[in-house]
Amino acid sequence: MESFVKFTNQSQGRDRIFRTTQYACALSKYLLRKNSARKELVVKLQSLESNMSSGRKLFRLGNTVNSIDAAKRTLQLSDPVLRLCLTVANLNRALYFICDNVLWARNVGLVPGIDKERWSLNASRCYFLSLVMSLTRDVYVITQTMVQRTRDRQFQQKMDQHLNDSPDVATVIVPQLDAFLFLLFESLKSHPSVALDTLKNICDLFIPLDRLGVYRSNPGVVGFCGLISSILGIVSVLHPSLKIQP
């Protein structure tokens, strides 16, 4: 109970709850779309989804400053790849929040004259670029971890034992591929925060890809991916050790 209270007291925690509810409604609405007996429920889900989205926009009003501050901190990183990926990701996230704030102001009637569609597309572009750079960071960290593991003599012995104990697998899968998959699995297993962040970013990527028309899916896929990434986000907030650093 104490963890839950601490979680809900954080603005980030409340945003995660709203986001999970929003995408759960989107997925449920898609699954019930052909059920004529559930039309009233679908309308209620649509309304709840819209309210959750509006509530999240209100929570994110100050996030532009936070993202700019994060970009300033990542500029101090010694690793040039991490410095580039995280700084660009944070700057694009700041631009995304600016677009999001303008859309919120338009929805409440403060700036009714703006082009909602154009600003929404700009927000999706910035969100997409931020996710791409975050995923690039994830791949870089995973690669670095795999390289370190291959230099570990104890791990080499473990890999050799795995290949020797799995002759049937080797006949179906190319031994080099089997070794690579084993190395990848063991690397992710030893760094759950990286695995969690990678999966979360992959799920999130479907949202702007669909919005920008780069890869068309359907509202069900978007709702499902958004729901999974939201749950993973809740896990990372509840357990800070599972939040990737830096």
Q: What average pLDDT score do residues 32-49 get?
A: 90
Note down the domain range covering 147: 2-242
pLDDT band of 33, cuts 50, 70, 90: confident
Q: What total of structural domains would you count in the chain? A: 1
Q: Give the CB-side neighbour count of residue 229, counting CA atoms within 13 A.
A: 22
The answer on pLDDT for 168 being more than 80 is no
Whole-angstrom distance, CA of residue 17 vs CA of residue 4: 11
pLDDT tens digits for range 178-200 = 778 888 988 898 899 999 999 99
Q: Which of 228, 225, 207 is nearest to 216 (CA)?
A: 207
Q: Which of 35-49, 118-132, 156-170, 228-242 has the highest mean pLDDT?
A: 118-132
Average of per-residue pLDDT values in the chain:
88
pLDDT tens digits for range 129-165 = 999 999 999 999 999 999 988 888 777 777 777 667 6
Task: Specify the pLDDT at position 153.
Answer: 78
ω before 219 within 30° of 0 (cis)?
A: no
Q: Which of 88, 103, 136, 105 is nearest to 211 (CA)?
A: 103
